[in-house]
Chain A
Amino acid sequence: MSETATATAATPAAPAAPNRRLPSTLRIGLSRAAMETRLFFREREAVIFTFSFPIVLLVLFGSIFAGDLEGTGITVSQLYTAGLIGAGVMSVSFQNLGITIAVERDAGVLKRLAGTPMPRTAYFIGKTLNVLLLSVLEIAILLAIGVLMYDLDLPSEAGRWVTFAWVFVLGVSGAALLGIAVSSLPRTAKSAAAVITTPFVVLQFVSGVYIPITQLPGWLIDIASVFPLRWMCQGFRAAFLGDAGVSLELAKSYELDKVALVLGAWVIAGLLLCLTTFRWKSRRDG
Protein backbone atom coordinates (compact mmCIF):
# COMPACT_ATOMS: atom_id res chain seq x y z
CA MET A 1 0.00 0.00 0.00
CA SER A 2 2.73 2.48 0.95
CA GLU A 3 4.75 1.52 -2.15
CA THR A 4 1.80 2.54 -4.29
CA ALA A 5 1.62 5.84 -2.45
CA THR A 6 5.23 6.75 -3.17
CA ALA A 7 5.00 5.71 -6.80
CA THR A 8 1.93 7.86 -7.35
CA ALA A 9 3.36 10.81 -5.51
CA ALA A 10 6.56 10.77 -7.52
CA THR A 11 4.81 10.84 -10.91
CA PRO A 12 1.53 12.62 -10.39
CA ALA A 13 0.69 12.80 -14.09
CA ALA A 14 1.42 9.16 -14.82
CA PRO A 15 -1.50 6.80 -15.37
CA ALA A 16 -2.78 5.12 -12.24
CA ALA A 17 -0.68 2.26 -11.01
CA PRO A 18 -2.48 -0.98 -11.83
CA ASN A 19 -2.53 -2.11 -8.21
CA ARG A 20 -4.43 0.91 -6.89
CA ARG A 21 -7.27 -1.04 -5.36
CA LEU A 22 -10.56 0.78 -4.90
CA PRO A 23 -12.16 0.24 -1.50
CA SER A 24 -15.04 -2.25 -1.63
CA THR A 25 -18.64 -1.07 -1.97
CA LEU A 26 -19.58 -2.75 1.29
CA ARG A 27 -16.79 -1.05 3.23
CA ILE A 28 -17.79 2.36 1.95
CA GLY A 29 -21.46 1.54 2.59
CA LEU A 30 -20.70 0.64 6.21
CA SER A 31 -18.65 3.78 6.61
CA ARG A 32 -21.56 5.84 5.27
CA ALA A 33 -24.00 4.09 7.62
CA ALA A 34 -21.80 4.94 10.60
CA MET A 35 -21.48 8.54 9.48
CA GLU A 36 -25.20 8.94 8.73
CA THR A 37 -26.18 7.51 12.09
CA ARG A 38 -23.71 9.63 14.04
CA LEU A 39 -24.89 12.78 12.27
CA PHE A 40 -28.58 11.90 12.69
CA PHE A 41 -28.28 11.86 16.44
CA ARG A 42 -26.24 15.05 16.38
CA GLU A 43 -29.03 16.94 14.64
CA ARG A 44 -31.49 17.63 17.42
CA GLU A 45 -34.42 18.63 15.20
CA ALA A 46 -34.30 15.37 13.26
CA VAL A 47 -34.14 13.30 16.42
CA ILE A 48 -37.17 15.03 17.90
CA PHE A 49 -39.14 15.36 14.69
CA THR A 50 -38.78 11.86 13.26
CA PHE A 51 -37.53 9.70 16.08
CA SER A 52 -39.12 10.94 19.30
CA PHE A 53 -42.49 11.96 17.88
CA PRO A 54 -44.12 8.48 17.99
CA ILE A 55 -42.65 7.95 21.46
CA VAL A 56 -44.10 11.21 22.75
CA LEU A 57 -47.47 10.37 21.18
CA LEU A 58 -47.54 6.94 22.81
CA VAL A 59 -46.91 8.39 26.25
CA LEU A 60 -49.50 11.08 25.59
CA PHE A 61 -52.23 8.77 24.26
CA GLY A 62 -51.50 6.18 26.90
CA SER A 63 -52.08 8.80 29.57
CA ILE A 64 -55.26 10.19 28.00
CA PHE A 65 -57.05 7.02 26.94
CA ALA A 66 -56.84 4.68 29.89
CA GLY A 67 -59.19 1.71 29.87
CA ASP A 68 -60.12 -1.57 28.23
CA LEU A 69 -61.57 -2.26 24.83
CA GLU A 70 -64.89 -4.01 25.39
CA GLY A 71 -64.64 -7.72 25.88
CA THR A 72 -61.08 -8.22 24.65
CA GLY A 73 -58.85 -7.71 27.65
CA ILE A 74 -56.78 -5.34 25.55
CA THR A 75 -56.26 -1.77 26.68
CA VAL A 76 -56.35 1.26 24.40
CA SER A 77 -52.69 1.92 25.22
CA GLN A 78 -51.71 -1.53 24.06
CA LEU A 79 -53.53 -0.97 20.81
CA TYR A 80 -51.71 2.33 20.37
CA THR A 81 -48.36 0.69 21.06
CA ALA A 82 -48.87 -1.71 18.16
CA GLY A 83 -50.14 1.03 15.83
CA LEU A 84 -47.44 3.53 16.74
CA ILE A 85 -44.75 0.92 16.08
CA GLY A 86 -46.03 0.91 12.50
CA ALA A 87 -46.10 4.71 12.36
CA GLY A 88 -42.68 4.93 14.05
CA VAL A 89 -41.08 2.59 11.53
CA MET A 90 -42.59 4.61 8.70
CA SER A 91 -41.43 7.82 10.33
CA VAL A 92 -37.75 6.86 10.49
CA SER A 93 -37.83 5.26 7.06
CA PHE A 94 -40.30 7.02 4.75
CA GLN A 95 -40.45 10.46 6.34
CA ASN A 96 -36.80 10.61 7.43
CA LEU A 97 -35.40 9.49 4.07
CA GLY A 98 -37.88 11.49 2.00
CA ILE A 99 -36.90 14.73 3.72
CA THR A 100 -33.16 14.22 4.23
CA ILE A 101 -32.51 13.05 0.68
CA ALA A 102 -34.53 15.96 -0.73
CA VAL A 103 -32.46 18.37 1.37
CA GLU A 104 -29.18 16.67 0.39
CA ARG A 105 -30.11 16.81 -3.28
CA ASP A 106 -31.09 20.47 -3.15
CA ALA A 107 -27.91 21.44 -1.30
CA GLY A 108 -25.70 19.75 -3.89
CA VAL A 109 -24.49 17.04 -1.50
CA LEU A 110 -25.65 14.26 -3.81
CA LYS A 111 -23.99 15.85 -6.83
CA ARG A 112 -20.73 16.10 -4.91
CA LEU A 113 -20.95 12.42 -3.94
CA ALA A 114 -21.66 11.50 -7.55
CA GLY A 115 -18.36 13.17 -8.47
CA THR A 116 -16.35 10.91 -6.16
CA PRO A 117 -15.45 7.25 -6.67
CA MET A 118 -18.06 6.34 -4.03
CA PRO A 119 -20.14 3.55 -5.63
CA ARG A 120 -23.73 4.72 -5.86
CA THR A 121 -24.90 1.51 -4.22
CA ALA A 122 -22.84 2.42 -1.15
CA TYR A 123 -25.01 5.49 -0.62
CA PHE A 124 -28.13 3.31 -0.48
CA ILE A 125 -26.43 0.72 1.72
CA GLY A 126 -25.62 3.54 4.15
CA LYS A 127 -29.19 4.84 4.15
CA THR A 128 -30.67 1.34 4.50
CA LEU A 129 -28.49 0.33 7.44
CA ASN A 130 -29.12 3.69 9.09
CA VAL A 131 -32.90 3.24 8.74
CA LEU A 132 -32.77 -0.37 9.98
CA LEU A 133 -30.84 0.69 13.05
CA LEU A 134 -33.17 3.60 13.80
CA SER A 135 -36.22 1.37 13.29
CA VAL A 136 -34.95 -1.26 15.70
CA LEU A 137 -34.18 1.42 18.28
CA GLU A 138 -37.55 3.07 17.79
CA ILE A 139 -39.39 -0.23 18.19
CA ALA A 140 -37.33 -1.17 21.24
CA ILE A 141 -38.21 2.10 22.96
CA LEU A 142 -41.92 1.91 22.04
CA LEU A 143 -42.09 -1.71 23.23
CA ALA A 144 -40.28 -0.83 26.44
CA ILE A 145 -42.84 1.91 27.13
CA GLY A 146 -45.69 -0.46 26.23
CA VAL A 147 -44.40 -3.19 28.51
CA LEU A 148 -43.37 -1.02 31.45
CA MET A 149 -46.21 1.52 31.46
CA TYR A 150 -49.15 -0.20 29.76
CA ASP A 151 -48.78 -3.87 30.67
CA LEU A 152 -48.22 -4.98 27.10
CA ASP A 153 -47.22 -8.64 27.05
CA LEU A 154 -44.45 -9.47 24.65
CA PRO A 155 -45.37 -12.44 22.47
CA SER A 156 -44.36 -15.72 24.03
CA GLU A 157 -44.85 -17.93 20.98
CA ALA A 158 -42.14 -18.06 18.35
CA GLY A 159 -44.78 -17.81 15.63
CA ARG A 160 -45.71 -14.27 16.56
CA TRP A 161 -42.06 -13.20 16.55
CA VAL A 162 -41.75 -14.68 13.08
CA THR A 163 -44.76 -12.59 12.06
CA PHE A 164 -43.11 -9.53 13.60
CA ALA A 165 -39.85 -10.24 11.77
CA TRP A 166 -41.30 -10.49 8.27
CA VAL A 167 -43.71 -7.59 8.76
CA PHE A 168 -40.74 -5.54 9.97
CA VAL A 169 -38.43 -6.46 7.09
CA LEU A 170 -41.07 -5.97 4.38
CA GLY A 171 -42.48 -2.86 6.04
CA VAL A 172 -39.16 -1.08 6.57
CA SER A 173 -37.90 -1.97 3.10
CA GLY A 174 -41.05 -0.80 1.34
CA ALA A 175 -41.35 2.41 3.36
CA ALA A 176 -37.66 3.22 2.94
CA LEU A 177 -37.73 2.67 -0.82
CA LEU A 178 -40.90 4.75 -1.04
CA GLY A 179 -39.18 7.49 0.98
CA ILE A 180 -36.21 7.48 -1.39
CA ALA A 181 -38.61 7.71 -4.33
CA VAL A 182 -40.71 10.58 -2.94
CA SER A 183 -37.55 12.56 -2.12
CA SER A 184 -37.62 13.59 -5.80
CA LEU A 185 -41.03 15.27 -5.44
CA PRO A 186 -40.24 18.42 -3.40
CA ARG A 187 -38.91 21.20 -5.64
CA THR A 188 -36.69 22.64 -2.92
CA ALA A 189 -35.30 21.71 0.47
CA LYS A 190 -37.59 24.24 2.11
CA SER A 191 -40.75 22.54 0.88
CA ALA A 192 -39.50 19.02 1.61
CA ALA A 193 -40.84 18.73 5.15
CA ALA A 194 -44.31 19.90 4.12
CA VAL A 195 -44.50 17.83 0.93
CA ILE A 196 -43.43 14.62 2.69
CA THR A 197 -45.03 15.08 6.10
CA THR A 198 -48.55 16.13 5.09
CA PRO A 199 -49.46 12.93 3.22
CA PHE A 200 -47.76 10.91 5.96
CA VAL A 201 -49.90 12.48 8.70
CA VAL A 202 -53.07 11.91 6.64
CA LEU A 203 -51.99 8.33 6.03
CA GLN A 204 -51.56 7.76 9.77
CA PHE A 205 -55.12 8.93 10.43
CA VAL A 206 -56.67 6.68 7.79
CA SER A 207 -54.47 3.66 8.44
CA GLY A 208 -55.66 2.85 11.94
CA VAL A 209 -52.77 4.37 13.87
CA TYR A 210 -54.82 6.90 15.85
CA ILE A 211 -58.40 5.96 14.96
CA PRO A 212 -59.49 2.32 14.65
CA ILE A 213 -59.92 1.58 10.97
CA THR A 214 -63.37 0.11 11.68
CA GLN A 215 -64.66 3.62 12.39
CA LEU A 216 -63.73 4.99 8.96
CA PRO A 217 -66.05 5.26 5.95
CA GLY A 218 -65.59 2.61 3.30
CA TRP A 219 -64.05 4.85 0.65
CA LEU A 220 -61.39 6.04 3.09
CA ILE A 221 -60.57 2.46 4.01
CA ASP A 222 -60.21 1.69 0.30
CA ILE A 223 -57.70 4.52 -0.09
CA ALA A 224 -55.76 3.52 3.03
CA SER A 225 -55.65 -0.07 1.82
CA VAL A 226 -53.58 0.92 -1.20
CA PHE A 227 -50.71 2.12 1.00
CA PRO A 228 -48.39 0.04 3.16
CA LEU A 229 -48.99 1.69 6.55
CA ARG A 230 -52.43 0.14 7.15
CA TRP A 231 -51.03 -3.32 6.50
CA MET A 232 -47.88 -2.76 8.49
CA CYS A 233 -49.95 -1.74 11.53
CA GLN A 234 -52.23 -4.72 11.03
CA GLY A 235 -49.22 -7.03 10.90
CA PHE A 236 -47.75 -5.52 14.07
CA ARG A 237 -51.09 -5.90 15.84
CA ALA A 238 -51.06 -9.57 14.85
CA ALA A 239 -47.61 -9.91 16.38
CA PHE A 240 -48.19 -7.95 19.60
CA LEU A 241 -51.89 -8.30 20.38
CA GLY A 242 -52.40 -11.80 19.02
CA ASP A 243 -55.72 -13.66 19.27
CA ALA A 244 -57.09 -11.34 21.94
CA GLY A 245 -57.24 -8.44 19.50
CA VAL A 246 -58.45 -10.22 16.41
CA SER A 247 -62.11 -9.29 17.06
CA LEU A 248 -61.16 -5.59 16.74
CA GLU A 249 -60.07 -6.05 13.12
CA LEU A 250 -62.19 -5.03 10.17
CA ALA A 251 -62.29 -8.56 8.75
CA LYS A 252 -62.23 -10.22 12.19
CA SER A 253 -58.90 -11.58 11.01
CA TYR A 254 -55.38 -10.15 10.68
CA GLU A 255 -55.38 -11.17 6.99
CA LEU A 256 -51.65 -11.91 7.12
CA ASP A 257 -51.66 -13.18 3.54
CA LYS A 258 -52.90 -9.78 2.35
CA VAL A 259 -50.38 -8.01 4.61
CA ALA A 260 -47.55 -9.94 2.99
CA LEU A 261 -48.94 -9.36 -0.48
CA VAL A 262 -49.37 -5.57 -0.19
CA LEU A 263 -46.10 -4.95 1.69
CA GLY A 264 -44.23 -7.18 -0.78
CA ALA A 265 -45.80 -5.34 -3.72
CA TRP A 266 -44.65 -2.01 -2.26
CA VAL A 267 -41.08 -3.27 -1.95
CA ILE A 268 -41.08 -4.08 -5.67
CA ALA A 269 -42.93 -0.89 -6.65
CA GLY A 270 -40.64 1.23 -4.45
CA LEU A 271 -37.55 -0.35 -5.95
CA LEU A 272 -38.81 0.28 -9.50
CA LEU A 273 -39.69 3.87 -8.63
CA CYS A 274 -36.22 4.45 -7.15
CA LEU A 275 -34.44 2.92 -10.11
CA THR A 276 -36.41 4.97 -12.62
CA THR A 277 -36.71 8.32 -10.85
CA PHE A 278 -33.70 8.81 -8.57
CA ARG A 279 -31.69 11.91 -9.48
CA TRP A 280 -28.28 12.96 -8.16
CA LYS A 281 -28.76 16.53 -9.30
CA SER A 282 -31.38 19.03 -8.19
CA ARG A 283 -34.22 20.02 -10.47
CA ARG A 284 -32.82 23.47 -11.28
CA ASP A 285 -29.55 21.76 -12.16
CA GLY A 286 -31.29 19.94 -15.04
Chain B
Amino acid sequence: MTATTAIKVRGLTKSYGDVQAVRGIDLDIRAGEVFAVLGPNGAGKSTTVEILEGHRKRDGGEVSVLSVDPGRPTREWRSRIGVVLQTIEEAGDATVREMVRHFARYYPDPRDPDEVIEQVGLAEKAGTRVRELSGGQRRRVDVALGIIGRPELLFLDEPTTGFDPEARRRFWELISGLSDDGTTIVLTTHYLDEAEALADRVAVIAWGRIVAEGDPHTLGGRATAKASVSWSQDGVRHSVETGTPSRTVAELARRFDGEVPELAVTRPTLEDIYLKLIETPAAAGQEAGDE
Protein backbone atom coordinates (compact mmCIF):
# COMPACT_ATOMS: atom_id res chain seq x y z
CA MET B 1 0.00 0.00 0.00
CA THR B 2 1.47 3.34 -1.00
CA ALA B 3 1.30 5.98 1.68
CA THR B 4 -0.37 9.21 0.64
CA THR B 5 1.63 12.39 0.78
CA ALA B 6 0.59 14.96 3.37
CA ILE B 7 3.16 17.60 2.48
CA LYS B 8 5.09 18.07 -0.73
CA VAL B 9 7.64 20.85 -1.16
CA ARG B 10 9.77 21.51 -4.24
CA GLY B 11 12.40 24.24 -4.58
CA LEU B 12 11.06 26.40 -1.76
CA THR B 13 12.76 29.78 -1.41
CA LYS B 14 12.26 32.77 0.86
CA SER B 15 14.34 35.90 1.45
CA TYR B 16 14.11 38.70 3.96
CA GLY B 17 15.70 41.70 2.25
CA ASP B 18 19.18 40.54 1.24
CA VAL B 19 19.14 37.52 3.52
CA GLN B 20 18.22 34.24 1.88
CA ALA B 21 16.51 32.34 4.68
CA VAL B 22 15.39 29.36 2.60
CA ARG B 23 17.43 28.41 -0.50
CA GLY B 24 15.65 25.61 -2.28
CA ILE B 25 14.11 23.04 0.02
CA ASP B 26 12.46 19.80 -1.11
CA LEU B 27 10.37 17.78 1.31
CA ASP B 28 7.98 14.86 1.21
CA ILE B 29 6.09 14.06 4.37
CA ARG B 30 3.83 11.02 4.30
CA ALA B 31 0.39 10.94 5.81
CA GLY B 32 0.48 9.40 9.26
CA GLU B 33 4.17 9.84 10.00
CA VAL B 34 5.86 11.94 12.68
CA PHE B 35 8.38 14.18 10.97
CA ALA B 36 10.88 16.26 12.95
CA VAL B 37 12.55 19.36 11.55
CA LEU B 38 15.86 20.09 13.24
CA GLY B 39 18.25 22.97 12.80
CA PRO B 40 19.94 25.86 14.52
CA ASN B 41 18.11 29.13 15.08
CA GLY B 42 18.08 31.31 11.99
CA ALA B 43 18.74 28.38 9.67
CA GLY B 44 15.41 28.59 7.89
CA LYS B 45 13.59 26.03 9.98
CA SER B 46 10.89 28.32 11.40
CA THR B 47 10.44 30.10 8.08
CA THR B 48 9.88 26.79 6.32
CA VAL B 49 7.38 25.55 8.89
CA GLU B 50 5.52 28.89 8.93
CA ILE B 51 5.16 28.72 5.15
CA LEU B 52 3.70 25.22 5.51
CA GLU B 53 1.31 26.46 8.20
CA GLY B 54 0.05 29.25 5.96
CA HIS B 55 1.47 31.91 8.28
CA ARG B 56 4.04 33.23 5.83
CA LYS B 57 4.22 33.83 2.06
CA ARG B 58 6.95 32.15 0.06
CA ASP B 59 9.05 33.69 -2.70
CA GLY B 60 9.36 30.66 -4.93
CA GLY B 61 8.86 26.94 -5.29
CA GLU B 62 5.89 24.65 -5.07
CA VAL B 63 4.20 23.75 -1.80
CA SER B 64 1.26 21.48 -1.24
CA VAL B 65 -0.11 20.77 2.23
CA LEU B 66 -3.03 18.31 2.26
CA SER B 67 -3.27 19.01 -1.48
CA VAL B 68 -3.76 22.75 -0.89
CA ASP B 69 -1.35 25.62 -1.52
CA PRO B 70 -0.81 27.12 1.96
CA GLY B 71 -0.07 30.47 0.28
CA ARG B 72 -3.82 30.65 -0.31
CA PRO B 73 -5.28 29.22 2.89
CA THR B 74 -9.01 28.58 3.03
CA ARG B 75 -11.15 28.02 6.11
CA GLU B 76 -11.86 24.47 4.95
CA TRP B 77 -8.11 23.77 4.78
CA ARG B 78 -7.48 25.39 8.17
CA SER B 79 -10.13 23.14 9.69
CA ARG B 80 -8.02 20.12 8.65
CA ILE B 81 -4.76 21.26 10.20
CA GLY B 82 -3.79 22.07 13.77
CA VAL B 83 -1.06 24.55 14.64
CA VAL B 84 0.64 24.69 18.03
CA LEU B 85 2.83 27.76 17.93
CA GLN B 86 5.85 28.50 20.07
CA THR B 87 5.10 30.09 23.42
CA ILE B 88 1.88 32.01 23.69
CA GLU B 89 2.28 34.38 26.61
CA GLU B 90 -1.40 34.75 27.17
CA ALA B 91 -2.29 34.99 30.85
CA GLY B 92 -5.89 34.19 30.17
CA ASP B 93 -8.76 34.60 32.59
CA ALA B 94 -10.63 31.86 30.77
CA THR B 95 -10.67 28.40 32.28
CA VAL B 96 -9.23 25.45 30.41
CA ARG B 97 -12.71 24.11 29.68
CA GLU B 98 -13.97 27.49 28.43
CA MET B 99 -11.01 27.87 26.08
CA VAL B 100 -11.27 24.38 24.61
CA ARG B 101 -15.05 24.58 24.23
CA HIS B 102 -14.78 27.98 22.58
CA PHE B 103 -12.18 26.84 20.05
CA ALA B 104 -14.31 23.77 19.29
CA ARG B 105 -16.93 26.16 17.88
CA TYR B 106 -14.57 27.17 15.04
CA TYR B 107 -14.53 23.68 13.53
CA PRO B 108 -17.03 21.72 11.48
CA ASP B 109 -16.41 18.42 13.24
CA PRO B 110 -14.62 19.01 16.54
CA ARG B 111 -13.57 16.43 19.08
CA ASP B 112 -15.42 16.33 22.37
CA PRO B 113 -13.85 19.12 24.50
CA ASP B 114 -13.94 17.11 27.72
CA GLU B 115 -12.31 14.13 26.02
CA VAL B 116 -9.56 16.34 24.63
CA ILE B 117 -8.92 17.88 28.05
CA GLU B 118 -8.72 14.38 29.46
CA GLN B 119 -6.40 13.30 26.66
CA VAL B 120 -3.88 16.09 27.34
CA GLY B 121 -4.00 15.21 31.02
CA LEU B 122 -5.74 18.33 32.32
CA ALA B 123 -9.00 16.77 33.50
CA GLU B 124 -8.34 17.90 37.06
CA LYS B 125 -7.49 21.40 35.89
CA ALA B 126 -10.48 21.83 33.57
CA GLY B 127 -12.08 24.44 35.81
CA THR B 128 -8.82 26.31 36.48
CA ARG B 129 -8.00 29.59 34.80
CA VAL B 130 -5.20 29.30 32.25
CA ARG B 131 -3.39 32.12 34.12
CA GLU B 132 -2.97 29.86 37.14
CA LEU B 133 -1.44 26.90 35.28
CA SER B 134 2.24 25.97 35.18
CA GLY B 135 4.23 26.37 31.95
CA GLY B 136 3.93 22.70 31.10
CA GLN B 137 0.20 22.70 31.76
CA ARG B 138 -0.30 25.75 29.53
CA ARG B 139 1.55 23.96 26.77
CA ARG B 140 -0.96 21.15 27.16
CA VAL B 141 -3.74 23.68 26.69
CA ASP B 142 -2.02 24.82 23.49
CA VAL B 143 -1.98 21.23 22.28
CA ALA B 144 -5.62 20.76 23.28
CA LEU B 145 -6.54 23.82 21.17
CA GLY B 146 -4.40 22.45 18.33
CA ILE B 147 -6.17 19.09 18.21
CA ILE B 148 -9.74 20.08 19.14
CA GLY B 149 -10.68 20.37 15.44
CA ARG B 150 -9.71 16.73 14.74
CA PRO B 151 -6.81 17.75 12.46
CA GLU B 152 -5.35 15.37 9.89
CA LEU B 153 -2.07 17.24 10.23
CA LEU B 154 -0.63 18.80 13.36
CA PHE B 155 2.27 21.26 13.53
CA LEU B 156 4.12 21.45 16.83
CA ASP B 157 6.69 24.22 17.18
CA GLU B 158 9.22 23.46 19.94
CA PRO B 159 6.49 21.96 22.11
CA THR B 160 8.54 20.99 25.17
CA THR B 161 10.89 23.95 25.62
CA GLY B 162 11.20 24.64 29.33
CA PHE B 163 9.75 21.30 30.46
CA ASP B 164 11.24 19.23 33.25
CA PRO B 165 12.27 15.69 32.17
CA GLU B 166 9.19 14.03 33.61
CA ALA B 167 6.80 16.48 31.97
CA ARG B 168 8.64 15.94 28.69
CA ARG B 169 8.17 12.17 28.89
CA ARG B 170 4.46 12.58 29.57
CA PHE B 171 4.21 14.98 26.65
CA TRP B 172 5.91 12.47 24.36
CA GLU B 173 3.32 9.87 25.30
CA LEU B 174 0.59 12.33 24.33
CA ILE B 175 2.18 12.94 20.92
CA SER B 176 2.74 9.22 20.33
CA GLY B 177 -0.91 8.63 21.13
CA LEU B 178 -2.00 11.22 18.56
CA SER B 179 0.27 9.61 16.00
CA ASP B 180 -1.21 6.21 16.74
CA ASP B 181 -4.63 7.69 15.98
CA GLY B 182 -3.38 8.48 12.48
CA THR B 183 -2.56 12.18 12.81
CA THR B 184 0.37 13.35 10.70
CA ILE B 185 2.72 15.35 12.93
CA VAL B 186 5.35 17.88 11.92
CA LEU B 187 7.53 18.78 14.85
CA THR B 188 10.34 21.30 15.28
CA THR B 189 12.60 20.87 18.25
CA HIS B 190 16.02 21.67 19.66
CA TYR B 191 16.06 18.45 21.65
CA LEU B 192 17.69 15.65 19.72
CA ASP B 193 16.43 13.01 22.13
CA GLU B 194 12.92 14.27 21.49
CA ALA B 195 13.34 13.86 17.74
CA GLU B 196 14.78 10.39 18.29
CA ALA B 197 11.97 9.33 20.61
CA LEU B 198 9.09 10.64 18.51
CA ALA B 199 10.04 10.96 14.86
CA ASP B 200 9.79 8.37 12.12
CA ARG B 201 11.97 10.64 10.01
CA VAL B 202 13.92 13.82 10.60
CA ALA B 203 15.29 16.56 8.36
CA VAL B 204 18.16 18.80 9.40
CA ILE B 205 17.93 22.32 7.97
CA ALA B 206 21.03 24.53 7.96
CA TRP B 207 21.89 27.58 5.85
CA GLY B 208 18.44 27.44 4.30
CA ARG B 209 18.93 23.92 2.92
CA ILE B 210 18.20 20.39 4.01
CA VAL B 211 21.61 18.94 4.90
CA ALA B 212 20.37 15.50 5.95
CA GLU B 213 17.11 13.62 5.96
CA GLY B 214 16.04 10.18 7.09
CA ASP B 215 15.46 7.78 9.95
CA PRO B 216 16.90 9.31 13.13
CA HIS B 217 18.60 6.01 13.99
CA THR B 218 20.58 5.87 10.75
CA LEU B 219 20.89 9.57 9.97
CA GLY B 220 24.27 10.65 8.64
CA GLY B 221 25.58 7.06 8.62
CA ARG B 222 25.01 6.82 12.33
CA ALA B 223 24.29 3.08 12.41
CA THR B 224 27.40 2.15 10.46
CA ALA B 225 29.75 4.64 12.08
CA LYS B 226 32.56 3.31 14.27
CA ALA B 227 31.53 2.37 17.77
CA SER B 228 33.43 3.20 20.90
CA VAL B 229 34.09 0.38 23.41
CA SER B 230 35.25 1.49 26.83
CA TRP B 231 36.00 -0.26 30.12
CA SER B 232 37.99 0.17 33.32
CA GLN B 233 41.16 -1.65 34.33
CA ASP B 234 43.06 -0.97 37.55
CA GLY B 235 41.20 2.30 38.01
CA VAL B 236 42.07 3.57 34.51
CA ARG B 237 39.46 4.15 31.80
CA HIS B 238 40.29 2.56 28.43
CA SER B 239 38.55 3.19 25.15
CA VAL B 240 38.91 1.96 21.54
CA GLU B 241 37.18 3.00 18.34
CA THR B 242 36.19 0.01 16.26
CA GLY B 243 34.09 -1.06 13.33
CA THR B 244 33.63 -4.50 14.94
CA PRO B 245 32.56 -3.80 18.53
CA SER B 246 31.18 -7.33 19.13
CA ARG B 247 34.59 -8.87 18.42
CA THR B 248 36.25 -6.35 20.77
CA VAL B 249 33.79 -7.15 23.53
CA ALA B 250 34.30 -10.90 23.03
CA GLU B 251 38.05 -10.45 23.31
CA LEU B 252 37.64 -8.36 26.44
CA ALA B 253 35.34 -10.98 27.97
CA ARG B 254 37.98 -13.60 27.36
CA ARG B 255 40.72 -11.40 28.81
CA PHE B 256 38.72 -10.66 32.00
CA ASP B 257 37.32 -14.17 32.10
CA GLY B 258 33.72 -13.02 32.44
CA GLU B 259 32.42 -9.57 33.37
CA VAL B 260 34.28 -6.61 31.86
CA PRO B 261 34.45 -3.85 34.49
CA GLU B 262 32.22 -0.84 33.61
CA LEU B 263 31.83 -1.98 30.01
CA ALA B 264 30.13 0.49 27.62
CA VAL B 265 29.58 0.32 23.87
CA THR B 266 28.42 3.58 22.28
CA ARG B 267 27.64 4.78 18.80
CA PRO B 268 27.63 8.45 17.85
CA THR B 269 24.48 10.00 19.32
CA LEU B 270 22.05 11.86 17.12
CA GLU B 271 23.47 14.96 18.73
CA ASP B 272 27.01 14.08 17.60
CA ILE B 273 25.77 13.58 14.05
CA TYR B 274 23.67 16.72 14.18
CA LEU B 275 26.52 18.90 15.40
CA LYS B 276 28.76 17.54 12.63
CA LEU B 277 26.05 18.21 10.03
CA ILE B 278 25.60 21.84 10.94
CA GLU B 279 29.33 22.46 11.29
CA THR B 280 30.39 23.47 7.78
CA PRO B 281 28.35 24.25 4.69
CA ALA B 282 30.76 22.33 2.40
CA ALA B 283 30.53 19.04 4.27
CA ALA B 284 26.78 19.21 4.33
CA GLY B 285 25.87 18.47 0.73
CA GLN B 286 27.17 14.90 0.59
CA GLU B 287 25.70 13.70 3.87
CA ALA B 288 22.21 13.97 2.50
CA GLY B 289 22.98 11.29 -0.07
CA ASP B 290 23.78 8.67 2.54
CA GLU B 291 20.23 7.63 3.19
B138-166 residues at the A interface, CB under 8 angstroms: 142, 145, 149-150, 152
Tell yes or no: A197 within 8 A of B by CB: no
A-B contact count (CB 8 A): 102
User: Interface with A: B81-89, B213-221, B224-232, which one?
Assistant: B81-89
Chain B residues lying within 8 Å of A114, measured Cβ to Cβ, are: 55
Chain B residues lying within 8 Å of A43, measured Cβ to Cβ, are: 93
Within the complex, what minimum Cβ distance (angstroms) separates A191 from chain B?
15
B152 touches A13 (CB 8 A): yes
Give the most central of B32, B55, B142: most A CB within 10 Å. B55
Given that A23-B105, A28-B106, A31-B102 are contacting pairs, would A16 and B76 also be in contact in the complex, using a CB cutoff of 8 Å? yes
Within the complex, what minimum Cβ distance (angstroms) separates B275 from chain A?
28
A23 touches B106 (CB 8 A): yes
Interface string of A91-118 (1 = CB under 8 A from B): 0000000000000101111011011111
Chain B residues lying within 8 Å of A35, measured Cβ to Cβ, are: 94, 98, 102
Bound state CA distance, A199 and B80, in angstroms? 44
Chain A, residue nearest B86 (CB): A108
Tell yes or no: A8 within 8 A of B by CB: yes
Within the complex, what minimum Cβ distance (angstroms) separates B267 from chain A?
34
Given that A8-B109, A118-B106, A119-B75 are contacting pairs, would A13 and B85 also be in contact in the complex, using a CB cutoff of 8 Å? no
Tell yes or no: A39 within 8 A of B by CB: yes
Chain A, residue nearest B92 (CB): A39
Chain A residues lying within 8 Å of B102, measured Cβ to Cβ, are: 31-32, 35
B108 touches A22 (CB 8 A): yes
Chain A residues lying within 8 Å of B86, measured Cβ to Cβ, are: 108
User: Interface with A: B36-44, B180-188, B196-204, B238-246, which one?
Assistant: B180-188
B87 touches A117 (CB 8 A): no
Chain B, residue nearest A42 (CB): B93
B31 touches A20 (CB 8 A): no
Interface string of B1-31 (1 = CB under 8 A from A): 0001010000000001000000000000001
Tell yes or no: A5 within 8 A of B by CB: yes
Tell yes or no: A12 within 8 A of B by CB: yes
Tell yes or no: B54 within 8 A of A by CB: yes
Interface string of A43-60 (1 = CB under 8 A from B): 100000000000000000
Tell yes or no: B79 within 8 A of A by CB: yes
B55 touches A22 (CB 8 A): no
A112 touches B105 (CB 8 A): no
Chain B, residue nearest A104 (CB): B90
Chain A residues lying within 8 Å of B56, measured Cβ to Cβ, are: 286
29 sample A-B contacts, Cβ–Cβ < 8 Å, listed by A number: A4-B108, A8-B109, A8-B150, A9-B150, A13-B6, A13-B32, A20-B76, A22-B76, A22-B79, A22-B107, A23-B105, A31-B105, A35-B98, A35-B102, A39-B93, A104-B90, A107-B89, A108-B90, A111-B85, A112-B85, A112-B88, A112-B142, A115-B55, A116-B83, A117-B75, A117-B79, A117-B107, A189-B89, A286-B16
> Footprint of A on B, CB under 8 Å?
4, 6, 16, 31-32, 53-56, 66-67, 75-76, 78-81, 83, 85-94, 98, 102-103, 105-109, 142, 145, 149-150, 152, 181-184
Further pairs besides A35-B98, A112-B145: 11, Cβ < 8 Å = A12-B152, A12-B181, A15-B67, A22-B76, A22-B79, A39-B93, A42-B93, A112-B83, A116-B106, A117-B107, A117-B108
